Structure 1
Amino acid sequence: MNYVIIGASAAGASAAKEIAKNRDESDQILIFTDETYPFYYRPRLIECLSGEVEVEDIIINDAEWFAEHDIDLHLSEKITEIDLENSLIKSAKNSYQYDKLLFANGSTCFVPPFSGVELDNIFTLKKAADLKEINAAAQQAKKVVVVGGGLLGLEMAYNFNKAGLETTVLEVADYLLPMQLDEKAGDLLESKLQKNNIKVITGAKTKGFTGKKKVEKVILENEEIAADLVLISTGIKCDTCLVEDLDIKTNKGIVVNEKLETSFPNVYAAGDLAEYDNQIYGIWPPALEQGRIAGQVMSGLESEFTGYVPSHRLKVAGINVVSIGNLNKDGNYQEKVLLDDDNYVKVIADNDQKIGAIIVGQYSEQNKLLAEIKK
């Protein structure tokens, strides 16, 4: 049996590990990535912006580990074509036969149609390869603008700030983290960040960028902001380019069932590009879980993915931020709010059962609360 996996991050690596546990001696596991680094903890890439962490520090399994476990890891080999009828994948180097195939090649950064986005010193951060250019530009920069005040955008801003750069965050919504927080929590987080010398502009409608060759200004609807480095953090889009012309059902991503099966036999998908029950998670924990389950199913075991309770924990400039569970503001739920000048806690319940929570600041009962929600 030839197992082929496209993508060597959370979903791909966890699938390979599961298959390796259950393989027959003659089975082959091939895993392909266009990156030069093996499996690393991608959420910590952001820490590399401060200069305190190197990519080598966040590698989870190095090339030797894959070799020791008889997993054929192909670094720097981008898959360019899939032949479903003949069960082949192709790269510029070679073609490979598979019996079972897993798409785990993740997502790319979504960049809105800003004007001037082609100017130098405007970046996105998705892979280790992006870091070299960003850090080189940061060494010559003084003013950084992060477009996007989501979880990643705020962590990026914090790490630029730690590196000594004057940092501004632009968020199009009226308050920070609108997907994870309510307005009071978002406003409290903003005030805490401002106290830590990170400037935040909410309701910021970014139009584009100007400059001669390098970016010099960010153009908003009502103002201009000086910048010599811009990082765009405005979400992700599923990397479905390999399946665009194939007989595989897609919507926002590759549509899968609870077994992570696609609409084509013996072809699976997991991680950021997999769409289960109209949901794309785009975060590390469910990617690991989907990869694990896909690997089990591919190797003949019974296993199912039944969804994931969204949970976000963030620490920016020492500020504790937690968002977990069902935060549907339109539902007929009970809410309990605990608030003082420095801390905010909202607990959401349905028929007295705790189903969600928002925390900004410190809360002594946090671990107990999270455990109740996850039950």
Structure 2
Amino acid sequence: MNYLIIGACAAGVSAVKEILKNRKENDQISIFTDENYPFYYRPRLIECLSGEVDVEDIIINDQQWFENNNIDLHLNEKIIEVDGKNKFIKSDNGKYKFDKLLLANGSHCFIPPFFGVELENIFTLRTAADVKVINKAAENAKKAVVVGGGLLGLEIAYNFAKAGLDTTVLEVAPYLLPMQLDKKGGDLLEQKLRANNVKVITDASTKGFEGKQNVEKVILKDREIEADLVLISTGIRSNTSLIEHLDLEINIGVKVNSKMQTSNPDIYAAGDVAEYKGEICGIWPPALAQGRVAGTIMSGGEAEFDGYVPSHKLKVAGINVVSLGELNKEGEYEEEIIVDNDTYVKLIKNNGEKIGVLIVGQYSDQNQILADIKR
């Protein structure tokens, strides 16, 4: 059996590790990435922006691991064609036949239609190569602006501030993390970020960027902000362009079933490129889980992906944030709010029973409340 995997990421490598368990004597495993690094812990790339961590420190499986397991690792090799009917893929370096193919080629950063994005020192962060370029630009920068105040954007801003940059984060919503928090919680989080030298502008409608060669200003609907380094963090889109000509069902990603199979029984997909029940996972834990399922099924085992419940506990720039249960329940319910200068706790109750909680900051009774709600 000839297994080909496009993408040496969480989904791709976790699939390979499952295939290894069921590997037969003549089975061949090849994995392709257009990056210069083997498997690394992508969520920690943000920490590399502060200078406290190097990319080499976050490599999980180095080239020696792939060699020891008799896996053909193709670094710096971009796949340019997939032929599902004749079962081969092509790169600039060659043509490779497959019996089973896994698409784990991830996603790219979405950039809204801002004007001026072609100016220098405007970046997105997705790969180790991105970090190297951003850090080089940051050496001569003073004012950084992060467009997008989601979890990733806030972490990026926090690490820029730790690196000594005058940092501002722009959030289009009226307060931070509206999917996880209410306004009081979002306002407290903003206050805590400001204490960590991160400026926050909410209701920030970014229009574009101005400058001669390098970016010099970020243009909002109602103001301008000086910047000599900009990072755009406004979501992701699946990398489906490689397979759009194939007879596969594609929506926001390539559609898969619970076994990570596409509409072609010999082609699988996992991670950010895969759409399961109308959703793209977009984060590390479900990508690992999907990869494990794909690798198991591809190599003759039994497994199913049954979805993923996002963690209710987050660390946002080192700040404890908890969001669990029914926070926007309609109808009759009670709210109990416990506030001090450093912590905000909102309990949602129905007939005295705890059904939801929101916490920003440290709270001594947190574990007990979470246990009560889960019960």
Sequence identity percentage: 68
Equivalent residues in 2 for 1:278-297, closer than 5 Å:
278-297=278-297
The answer to whether the 8 Å contact 2:10/2:291 transfers is yes
1:231, CA displacement in angstroms?
Answer: 0.4
Query: Alignment partner of 2:20: what SS?
Result: helix
* Corresponding residue for residue 310 of structure 2: 310
Q: Measure the CA separation in 2 of the matches of 1:189 and 1:212.
A: 36
Equivalent residues in 2 for 1:1-375, closer than 5 Å:
1-311=1-311, 313-324=313-324, 329=328, 337-341=336-340, 342-346=342-346, 357-367=357-367
The answer to whether the 8 Å contact 2:272/2:280 transfers is yes
The answer to whether the 8 Å contact 1:333/1:348 transfers is no
Q: CA RMSD in A?
A: 2.1
- Change in CA separation of 1:168 and 1:83 when aligned onto 2, cut-off 3 Å: same
TM-score, normalised to structure 2, is 0.94
- Change in CA separation of 1:277 and 1:357 when aligned onto 2, cut-off 3 Å: farther
Q: Measure the CA separation in 2 of the matches of 1:333 and 1:132.
A: 53
Query: Alignment partner of 2:164: what SS?
Result: coil
Query: Alignment partner of 2:61: what SS?
Result: coil
Partner deviation per Cα, 1:172-224 (whole Å, 9 max, x = no partner): 01111122222221111011111222110000000000000000000000000
Q: Measure the CA separation in 1 of the matches of 2:103 and 2:350.
A: 37
The answer to whether the 8 Å contact 2:108/2:239 transfers is yes
1:315, CA displacement in angstroms?
Answer: 3.0
- Change in CA separation of 1:317 and 1:266 when aligned onto 2, cut-off 3 Å: closer
Q: Which amino acid aligns with 2:110?
A: F
1:70, CA displacement in angstroms?
Answer: 1.7
Q: Measure the CA separation in 1 of the matches of 2:356 and 2:264.
A: 37
Q: Measure the CA separation in 2 of the matches of 1:333 and 1:8.
A: 50
Name stretches of at least 5 consecutive residues in structure 1 with no aligned partner. none
1:134, CA displacement in angstroms?
Answer: 0.5
TM-score, normalised to structure 1, is 0.94
Q: Measure the CA separation in 2 of the matches of 1:136 and 1:183.
A: 37
Number of aligned residue pairs: 374
- Change in CA separation of 1:2 and 1:44 when aligned onto 2, cut-off 3 Å: same
The answer to whether the 8 Å contact 2:215/2:229 transfers is yes
1:52, CA displacement in angstroms?
Answer: 0.8
Q: Measure the CA separation in 2 of the matches of 1:262 and 1:165.
A: 45
Q: Measure the CA separation in 2 of the matches of 1:269 and 1:3.
A: 13
Name stretches of at least 5 consecutive residues in structure 2 with no aligned partner. none
The answer to whether the 8 Å contact 1:272/1:282 transfers is yes
Partner deviation per Cα, 1:8-29 (whole Å, 9 max, x = no partner): 1110110000111111121111
The answer to whether the 8 Å contact 1:157/1:198 transfers is yes
- Change in CA separation of 1:77 and 1:331 when aligned onto 2, cut-off 3 Å: farther
The answer to whether the 8 Å contact 1:151/1:314 transfers is no
- Change in CA separation of 1:78 and 1:267 when aligned onto 2, cut-off 3 Å: same
Q: Measure the CA separation in 2 of the matches of 1:144 and 1:51.
A: 15
Query: Alignment partner of 1:311: what SS?
Result: coil
The answer to whether the 8 Å contact 1:333/1:349 transfers is no
Partner deviation per Cα, 1:236-272 (whole Å, 9 max, x = no partner): 0111111111100011111111111111121111111
Q: Which amino acid aligns with 1:249?
A: E
Q: Which amino acid aligns with 2:338?
A: L
Tell me which moved more, 38-47 or 309-318.
309-318
Q: Which amino acid aligns with 2:180?
A: Q
- Change in CA separation of 1:21 and 1:297 when aligned onto 2, cut-off 3 Å: same
Q: Measure the CA separation in 2 of the matches of 1:94 and 1:205.
A: 46
Query: Alignment partner of 1:82: what SS?
Result: strand
Query: Alignment partner of 2:155: what SS?
Result: helix
Q: Which amino acid aligns with 1:109?
A: C
1:360, CA displacement in angstroms?
Answer: 1.1
The answer to whether the 8 Å contact 2:161/2:167 transfers is yes
Q: Measure the CA separation in 2 of the matches of 1:146 and 1:227.
A: 10
The answer to whether the 8 Å contact 2:327/2:356 transfers is no
The answer to whether the 8 Å contact 2:327/2:348 transfers is no
Q: Measure the CA separation in 2 of the matches of 1:167 and 1:90.
A: 43
